[in-house]
Structure 1
Amino acid sequence: MVMTRKSGTEQAWTALGGDPALLERVGTDGPEGLLPSRLPVRELARSAVAVCSLAAAELAARRTGRPVGRVVVDEAAVATAFVSERHLRIDGRAPVSFAPLSRFWPCADGWVRTHANYPHHRSRLLGTLGLAPDAPDGLAVEAVAASFAGRRGEEIERTVYAAGGLAVAARTPGQWAAGPQGASVAATGLVGRERLDDAPARGAAALTGDPLLPAAGVRVLDLSRVLAGPVATRTLALLGADVLRIDPPRFPESPDAHADTGFGKRSVELDLAAPAGAAALDRLLSGADVVVTGYRPGALDRFGLTPGELAARRPGVVVARLSAWGTAGPWAGRRGFDSLVQVATGIAAVEAGDGERPGALPAQALDHGTGYLLAAAVLRALTEQHDTGGSRLVTLSLARTAGWLLGELPAPAAREGTGAAYEPERWLTETGSPLGRLRHAVSPVAFEGGPAGWSRPPGRLGADTADWLTG
């Protein structure tokens, strides 16, 4: 007997604890064959957007007392949004992509992928080779290539990570699954959900603003960086939340990534280790409804930002915790990015075009997909809290989303998608901003009566004050 797997939307909605009866409210539209790949990327993308849209419609229904509105997921809107960073233009300029040292390198037993887009990661990588942080790109590329060619991938991985850099040896899915981190991640659910206490329900009276903006009146502290966390908080901002992003001073962020994911948000720099920064954080937490953290596990603990401490400081809070590799296992404390997770988990091996050099997904689908799932988890937690109270914790990781893609979603009969032609311009728009004139993707998250766009464009990083907009 052949067992048919549930659709990705059904799987994700179940992981979110949603009512199965609401799935009948979801439909799809638009062309097929987009986001071509060997793995079911299109299924992942539309499923993540579908459950995020349905969670938004569900919370809106709680606020209005009306039935849950219809959700229609447009395939073209999803495909455009999942490569939003490629469509972005800032006064006509295309954004900067990967740095010269962020790439695949052949090594003695296969391939290694490095990530050095940030200056501190670049300098740490070069430090393992005895090179100065300001070494020219040409010299640096030659030195890395020569060094890596004679070394084994896992030795390179250990050495670079020990120095605070980022390098991952390419593995097959089987090798990842057999390793301790793969086993640790596989033992977790796609979405971790936990009730932290019995704080009373705040009820509809605590939420102000347009009820068809389901997150109106919700205050979100965003302590996340490229890319999944900012995608999630960009979505919550679309739905009416007051999102305040906090960054540490002197810790560079990609201005182009911020231009893509900063819609609807405000941004402030706070040194949480300084008395003034700690006091500002305390003041903000006293009014926060949601705290999103996207740093590696443990990195923010010294600031009193563990889930338990947050619930004690702000009873009834929703804590959304995101990481690259999961919260347990030997890699839990490691930094990571979508491109590295693809390589470690075996996605790059599956997507190898010639069976030799590792490949890549047609989008940073782990980042974008996890971002929409994270937003959906926050919205569902707010709905549950509306009904029964309690501080809530939701936990996701890029590595667990990779496992969903590799082994749980319905497998395509052949190569997923055909690269079908479509006109992305329909799903692009232009907006003036303090950063310049932006051409950008519209949000694919949509439901009956929901918002069509963001209330504000991205501003300059750190340019706002550490205060909530109202109250």
Structure 2
Amino acid sequence: MTRGAADRLLARVWAELGREPAELELLAPLPTAPLPARLDASALAVASVAAASLAGWAASAGRRSIRLDGDRIANAFQSERVARFAGEAPDVWSPLSGFRRARDGWVRTHGNYPHHAAALRRVLGLSATDAAVPALVDDAVARRPAVGLTAEVTAAGGMCVVVAPEEPAVDARLAGTPLIGVSRLRDAGPVRSDAGRRNAGHPLAGVRVLDLTRVIAGPVATRTLALLGADVLRVDPPEPAELGWQHLEGGPGKRTAIVDARTPDGTAVLDGLIADADVVVLGYRPSSLARIGLDPARLAGRHPGVVIAQLSAWGFEGTAAERGGFDSLVQAASGIAVTEGERGAPGALPAQALDHASGYLLAAAVCTLLDRRSVEGGTWLARMSLRRTAAELLSMPRTAVPTPERTLDDDARARHSIDIAGPAGAQRIALPAIAAPTGPLTWAEPPHPWGSDAPGWAE
């Protein structure tokens, strides 16, 4: 929409991170990204990518400016639209995911993961065969009240929210809090970075990042850190298995291992990895992390000097902290779906923008806290929630009709994507959105199949 909105959001984030305003002068004028919406998805996308780019390179940019490409940013935010694996487009949404009209309103369900789909089927009384027929699913939902269905699906371990209008008072309260919550958990001595490698073009060379996340926001943050030179190891539990295409799409630049932290051997392996990590990125529910001793307080107590980054769908206070969710569900419950809807039916942003923006902003926070740790020491925590990011978007200027009108065509998507061949076979993925003073960046390492690496740090 307007470059001014992106500039204002970036300036706010920069101030919240405690960074020098003069660093903003290293950015060339910000572009717009063709992400048509009533809400300013373009400004949110551009500002978040600008923050990650600048936080990564500010210390080594010198007098060179960083220039972002709006089309490349839009393509990266819509990365699932260009992804191809062995020439085939992935099935991004399962038949049980989407907007559906209940008896007294609309709901949005999410059944991409098999265990969530199974919970929805149980509540709706559908067999796996029936659940593959949209009309049968629609009919089963239409017989149920929206609030009651949502409560029952949630209690069964599934994902469903009521499509709700905006709550201006709630959004105003959230927008009055930091978009990125940063706190110092305890003291620790400074940890110096390798300035020689920084100047050679690898801002995070030598930094070890343990990635304990799934589903877009966390993987976007950690693949951005990998792009900046960090050694990123993603570790997953054996169950539930990750969706293959989703892991590959979020996996460039990283290695991937499976560790069962519920076993003594797995606990020992994970403890060893954390002991040598500079950064731990968390994306699981607080109770799950606490059961295996990975909540931020205990991590900080056992590993002084570590930088912890944590993501949540709904927030970190009370029951919201334990509530599972995805970008599409937060859009539906926060009022975004109503705002983007047409003729009484809910709609969606042109990208999973809450996820992507939160990922880039969290990467900017990690870069900032690593720099701060090198000077003043400390054990640091950065937190973001998709719901807080939604409140930021809802508080920005909007239009009555979706703008900009331009969208990326197939040729533009091809220009901003890369065909690679790696351990997981032939793939097409979107090129990185962030840029360096020397220009756009590309991935140094293709995605690896889920869990195909040993759980250890690179030499």
Contact 2:38–2:398, Cα closer than 8 Å, also in 1 = no
- Alignment match of 2:270 (pick from 273, 277, 281): 281
Q: How big is each residue's C-alpha offset from its partner over 1:331-365, in whole Å with a ceiling of 9 and x where there is no partner?
A: 321110011000000000000022x1100101111
- Alignment match of 1:162 (pick from 150, 155, 161): 155
How far did 1:104 drift?
1.0
Matching residue of 2:131:
137
Q: For residues 128 and 415 of structure 1, do their structure 2 counterparts lie closer, same or farther at Cα, with a shift above 3 Å needed?
A: closer
Contact 1:33–1:418, Cα closer than 8 Å, also in 2 = no
Q: For residues 296 and 127 of structure 1, do their structure 2 counterparts lie closer, same or farther at Cα, with a shift above 3 Å needed?
A: same
> 106-115 or 15-24: which moved more?
15-24
Write the distance in 1 (CA, Å) between the matches of 2:103 and 2:184.
48
How far did 1:420 drift?
4.7
Q: How big is each residue's C-alpha offset from its partner over 1:11-69, in whole Å with a ceiling of 9 and x where there is no partner?
A: 22223222112112112466x561111000000000000011010012x43xxxx7374
Write the distance in 2 (CA, Å) between the matches of 1:168 and 1:26.
40
- Alignment match of 2:356 (pick from 368, 371, 380): 368
Instruction: Give the aligned CA root-mean-square deviation in angstroms.
Output: 2.2
Structure 1 residue 94 corresponds to structure 2 residue 127:
no
Matching residue of 1:49:
49
Unaligned runs of 5+ in 1: none
Structure 1 residue 395 corresponds to structure 2 residue 383:
yes
| TM-score normalised by L of structure 2 | 0.93
Structure 1 residue 14 corresponds to structure 2 residue 3:
no
- Amino acid in structure 2 at the alignment position of 1:99: S
Contact 2:33–2:74, Cα closer than 8 Å, also in 1 = no
Unaligned runs of 5+ in 2: none
Contact 1:108–1:150, Cα closer than 8 Å, also in 2 = yes
- Alignment match of 1:227 (pick from 202, 208, 216): 216
How far did 1:131 drift?
4.1
Q: For residues 432 and 240 of structure 1, do their structure 2 counterparts lie closer, same or farther at Cα, with a shift above 3 Å needed?
A: same
Contact 1:212–1:450, Cα closer than 8 Å, also in 2 = no
How far did 1:211 drift?
4.5
Contact 2:38–2:402, Cα closer than 8 Å, also in 1 = yes
How far did 1:298 drift?
2.4
Contact 2:309–2:381, Cα closer than 8 Å, also in 1 = yes
Structure 1 residue 171 corresponds to structure 2 residue 164:
yes
Q: Percent identity?
A: 45
Q: For residues 157 and 186 of structure 1, do their structure 2 counterparts lie closer, same or farther at Cα, with a shift above 3 Å needed?
A: farther
- Amino acid in structure 1 at the alignment position of 2:44: L
What is the 5 A alignment of 1:187-266? 188-204=177-193, 211-266=200-255
Contact 1:297–1:323, Cα closer than 8 Å, also in 2 = no
Contact 2:131–2:137, Cα closer than 8 Å, also in 1 = no
- Alignment match of 1:441 (pick from 407, 430, 443): 430
How far did 1:205 drift?
5.1
> 251-260 or 5-14: which moved more?
5-14
Write the distance in 2 (CA, Å) between the matches of 1:414 and 1:17.
36
SS at match of 1:393: strand
Contact 2:108–2:332, Cα closer than 8 Å, also in 1 = yes
SS at match of 2:364: helix
Q: For residues 204 and 211 of structure 1, do their structure 2 counterparts lie closer, same or farther at Cα, with a shift above 3 Å needed?
A: farther
SS at match of 1:437: strand
- Alignment match of 1:381 (pick from 365, 369, 372): 369
- Amino acid in structure 2 at the alignment position of 1:137: A
- Amino acid in structure 2 at the alignment position of 1:50: A
Matching residue of 1:39:
39
- Amino acid in structure 1 at the alignment position of 2:14: W
Matching residue of 1:462:
451
- Alignment match of 1:104 (pick from 94, 99, 112): 99
Write the distance in 2 (CA, Å) between the matches of 1:297 and 1:405.
26
What is the 5 A alignment of 1:17-28? 17-28=18-29
Matching residue of 1:147:
140
- Amino acid in structure 2 at the alignment position of 1:34: P
How far did 1:145 drift?
2.7
| TM-score normalised by L of structure 1 | 0.91
Write the distance in 2 (CA, Å) between the matches of 1:18 and 1:411.
28
- Amino acid in structure 2 at the alignment position of 1:90: F
> 144-153 or 257-266: which moved more?
144-153
Write the distance in 1 (CA, Å) between the matches of 2:120 and 2:200.
49
Write the distance in 2 (CA, Å) between the matches of 1:318 and 1:118.
30
SS at match of 1:195: strand
Q: For residues 9 and 418 of structure 1, do their structure 2 counterparts lie closer, same or farther at Cα, with a shift above 3 Å needed?
A: same
- Alignment match of 1:72 (pick from 60, 67, 70): 67
Write the distance in 2 (CA, Å) between the matches of 1:138 and 1:84.
25
- Amino acid in structure 2 at the alignment position of 1:335: G
How far did 1:414 drift?
5.7
How far did 1:438 drift?
1.3
